């Protein structure tokens, strides 16, 4: 069953098969309304999403950062509502970008030494030059092109996952969580079941430490999780005041072939009870999943105000739009700021309910749409000036 939300999607900016534009097109085709693109260790998609028409969609800027807890437990931390211009965030992602490239070359050397699979260096270099975050999918594709494997999953199961590398492409969990929150975001532990399986532990044992570090929530719903897993994670979040999130972890039709866009659960979930019977999902409406239950709105409100002041206000002054109360851009700028103030007063120091939390997302998307309009207007003005000159 496809949901109308998916907060865990990958594009070509990391190890996904589709471009941002193609993903947005598919999102519309699948009837998804609320979404986030969470590329591995990359926020390049955020700038690109803003260039697209998001009318009728609610977008949350996101990232999935590779981390390690206590120098032992490898895990992924999702960051939502992040400021892609944050200096510290960009710095740690730059470190991971280089580490990913070094590790990619190590993996290529590993399959050569262990299995005799030789990939010419110029082909590896081409990947590194064109892909900021190269990884196993890119190497698997090269292996397939050289007929070393019959399909992409075969590359993982029988070869790549068995190669040990010296280069670490993961950062300490405390640094990752701290950086996400400094960038105005919320930190969510992605697919915790994966960590349970890998280390044969219960996720609960890691929560106290992660909460001390500032973890905000858990991705309770994921294509890797069974019905029992999801309910267990959900109930734990309810009892421990943690945010609940959900996403497919979609990469494309060839990578993780069983994972489908908008499907946020393992197939056994639907077979057992039918997703519509789960109490927290009613009428196929993602607002009933408390993915944005933030105790204080200050970070998000300040972020929207900052974006408006940096991207819209200079244009208003430049075009002297204040003298024209009927101007749509000026009116929307005033209305968004007014609605932000009302929201701030209404929910100050109050934990949001599921339905209330959607209000801040709507304001965020109104801000994105206004920035898009101004950008297109600027381009149109520039084109007109060019035509006049010629």
- Within this chain, do residues 309 and 383 fall inside the same structural domain, yes or no? yes
Per-residue pLDDT tens over the stretch 83-120: 999 999 999 999 999 999 999 999 999 999 999 999 99
In a domain, 264, yes or no: yes
Say if residues 220 and 235 touch (Cβ distance below 8 Å). Answer: no
- Within this chain, do residues 81 and 223 fall inside the same structural domain, yes or no? yes
In 290-353, which ranges are continuous DSSP H helix? 298-311, 313-318, 328-346
**Domain end point (choices 101, 132, 162):** 162
Residue 236, domain extent? 5-87+170-288
CA distance 308 to 156: 45
- Within this chain, do residues 257 and 183 fall inside the same structural domain, yes or no? yes
CA distance 268 to 153: 21
Per-residue tens of pLDDT for the chain, all 390 residues: 556 789 999 999 998 989 999 999 999 999 898 899 999 999 999 989 988 988 888 899 999 999 999 999 999 999 998 999 999 999 999 999 999 999 999 999 999 999 999 999 999 999 998 888 888 889 999 999 999 998 888 888 899 988 988 888 899 999 999 999 999 888 999 999 999 999 999 999 999 999 999 998 999 989 888 888 888 998 898 888 788 888 999 998 877 778 888 877 664 443 333 333 233 322 333 333 333 334 446 677 777 888 888 888 888 888 888 766 557 888 888 899 888 888 777 766 555 554 556 677 778 778 877 887 887 777 666 445 434 444
CA distance 309 to 86: 16
- Within this chain, do residues 56 and 182 fall inside the same structural domain, yes or no? yes
Closest to 346 measured CA to CA, from 284, 290, 297 = 297
Tally of domains within the chain:
3
- Within this chain, do residues 73 and 186 fall inside the same structural domain, yes or no? yes
- Within this chain, do residues 150 and 275 fall inside the same structural domain, yes or no? no
In the chain, which ranges are continuous DSSP H helix? 20-29, 44-49, 87-115, 121-130, 136-145, 152-158, 173-182, 192-199, 207-213, 227-239, 267-272, 298-311, 313-318, 328-346, 354-389
- Within this chain, do residues 39 and 176 fall inside the same structural domain, yes or no? yes
- Within this chain, do residues 273 and 134 fall inside the same structural domain, yes or no? no
DSSP strand pairing (73-80 vs 62-69) = antiparallel
- Within this chain, do residues 195 and 260 fall inside the same structural domain, yes or no? yes
- Within this chain, do residues 98 and 74 fall inside the same structural domain, yes or no? no
| Phi and psi at residue 180, to the nearest 5° | -60, -45
Return the exposure string of 161-183: e unless at least 16 CB atoms fall within 10 Å of the residue's CB, then b: eebeeeeebbbebbebbbbbbbb
CA distance 70 to 212: 13
In a domain, 338, yes or no: yes
- Within this chain, do residues 186 and 267 fall inside the same structural domain, yes or no? yes
Helices (H) and strands (E) counted in the chain, each on its own, are 15, 9
In a domain, 293, yes or no: no
- Within this chain, do residues 99 and 146 fall inside the same structural domain, yes or no? yes
């Amino acid at each position: 069953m496809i949901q109308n939300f998916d907060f865990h999607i990958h594009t070509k900016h990391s190890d996904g098969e589709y471009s941002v534009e193609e993903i947005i097109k598919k999102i519309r085709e699948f009837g998804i309304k609320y979404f986030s693109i969470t590329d591995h260790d990359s926020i390049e998609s955020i700038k690109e999403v803003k260039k697209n028409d998001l009318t009728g969609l609610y977008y949350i800027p996101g990232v999935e950062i590779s981390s390690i807890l206590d120098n032992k437990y490898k895990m992924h931390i999702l960051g939502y509502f992040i400021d892609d211009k944050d200096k510290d965030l960009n710095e740690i992602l730059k470190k991971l970008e280089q580490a990913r490239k070094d590790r990619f070359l190590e993996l290529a050397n590993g399959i050569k030494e262990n299995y005799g699979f030789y990939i010419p260096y110029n082909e590896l270099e081409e990947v590194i030059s064109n892909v900021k975050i190269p990884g196993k999918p890119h190497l698997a594709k090269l292996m397939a092109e050289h007929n070393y494997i019959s399909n992409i999953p075969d590359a993982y199961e029988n070869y790549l996952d068995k190669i040990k590398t010296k280069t670490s492409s993961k950062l300490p969990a405390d640094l990752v969580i701290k950086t996400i929150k400094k960038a105005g975001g919320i930190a969510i532990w992605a697919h915790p079941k994966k960590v349970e399986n890998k280390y044969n532990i219960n996720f609960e044992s890691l929560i106290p430490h992660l909460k001390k570090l500032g973890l905000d929530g858990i991705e309770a719903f994921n294509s890797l999780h069974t019905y029992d897993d999801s309910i267990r994670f959900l109930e734990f979040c309810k009892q421990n005041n943690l945010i609940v999130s959900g996403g497919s972890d979609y990469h494309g039709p060839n990578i993780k072939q069983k994972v489908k866009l908008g499907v946020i659960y393992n197939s056994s979930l639907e077979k057992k009870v039918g997703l519509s019977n789960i109490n927290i999902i009613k009428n196929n409406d993602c607002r009933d999943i408390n993915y944005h239950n933030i105790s204080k709105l200050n970070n998000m409100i300040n972020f929207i105000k900052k974006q408006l002041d940096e991207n819209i206000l200079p244009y208003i002054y430049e075009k002297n739009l204040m003298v024209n109360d009927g101007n749509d851009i000026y009116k929307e700028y005033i209305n968004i700021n007014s609605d932000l103030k009302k929201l701030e007063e209404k929910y100050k120091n109050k934990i949001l309910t599921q339905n209330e939390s959607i209000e801040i997302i709507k304001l965020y998307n109104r801000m994105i749409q206004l920035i898009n309009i101004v950008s297109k207007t600027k381009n149109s003005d520039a084109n007109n000036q060019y035509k006049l000159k010629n």
